[in-house]
Structure 1
Amino acid sequence: MTGYSRSTRSPRGEARRRELLELVTEDLAANGLVDFSLRRAARAAGTTHKVLLYHFDNADDLLLQAVLRLRDRRVVAGLAAARESGGDSLAARIRALWPVLADERARVLDQAIGLAMYDPARYAALGREASQQYLPHLVALCPEHWSARRKQEVAELVLATLRGFLIDARTGGDSASDSAGFDALVRALEREEAADE
Structure 2
Amino acid sequence: MTGAGPARDRLLQTVVEQLAGQGIADRSLRALATATGTSHRMLIYHFGSREGLLTEVVAAVEAGQQAALAALTADPAAGPREVVDRFWVTVSAGARRYGPLFFELSAQAMQGRAHAARLRETLVAPWIAPLGALLERGGLAPAAARTRARLVIGAARGLLHDALVTGEFTEADAAMADLTALALPP
TM-score (ref. length: structure 2): 0.74
Candidates 170, 175, 182, aligned match of 1:181: 175
Q: Secondary structure at the match of 1:88?
A: coil
Asked if the contact 1:39–1:49 (Cα under 8 Å) also holds between the matched residues in 2, the reply is yes
Partner residue, 1:67: 58
1:101 to 2:91 alignment: yes
Partner residue, 1:110: 103
Number of positions where the alignment pairs a residue of Structure 1 with one of Structure 2: 179
Asked if the contact 1:78–1:100 (Cα under 8 Å) also holds between the matched residues in 2, the reply is no
Partner residue, 1:10: none
Deviation at 1:152, TM superposition (A): 1.9
Q: Secondary structure at the match of 2:81?
A: helix
Across the aligned residues of Structure 1 and Structure 2, the Cα RMSD in angstroms comes to 3.2
Structure 1 residues 41 and 172, CA, compared in 2 at 3 Å: closer, same or farther? same
Partner residue, 1:125: 118
Asked if the contact 1:165–1:178 (Cα under 8 Å) also holds between the matched residues in 2, the reply is yes
Candidates 6, 12, 18, aligned match of 1:21: 12
Partner residue, 1:91: 81
Letter in structure 1 aligned against 2:97: R
Deviation by residue 1:44-88 (Cα, 9 ceiling, x = unmatched): 55433233234334312211211321232233234445667x973
Deviation by residue 1:100-121 (Cα, 9 ceiling, x = unmatched): 111112323233224334xx12
1:56 to 2:47 alignment: yes
Deviation at 1:132, TM superposition (A): 3.9
- C-alpha separation between the residues in 2 aligned to 1:14 and 1:48? 17
Letter in structure 2 aligned against 1:113: S
Deviation at 1:130, TM superposition (A): 2.2
Deviation at 1:97, TM superposition (A): 0.9
Asked if the contact 1:74–1:106 (Cα under 8 Å) also holds between the matched residues in 2, the reply is no
Candidates 132, 145, 158, aligned match of 1:139: 132
Deviation at 1:125, TM superposition (A): 3.4
Give 5+ residue unaligned stretches, structure 2: none
Q: Secondary structure at the match of 2:166?
A: coil
RCO higher in structure (CA 8 A, sep ≥6) = 2
Give 5+ residue unaligned stretches, structure 1: 1-5, 8-12
Q: Secondary structure at the match of 2:4?
A: helix
TM-score (ref. length: structure 1): 0.70
Asked if the contact 2:80–2:134 (Cα under 8 Å) also holds between the matched residues in 1, the reply is yes
Partner residue, 1:162: 156
Greater Rg over alpha carbons, structure: 1
- C-alpha separation between the residues in 2 aligned to 1:51 and 1:76? 28
Deviation by residue 1:151-186 (Cα, 9 ceiling, x = unmatched): 322211111111111111111165565344323311
Deviation at 1:19, TM superposition (A): 4.5
Structure 1 residues 176 and 102, CA, compared in 2 at 3 Å: closer, same or farther? closer
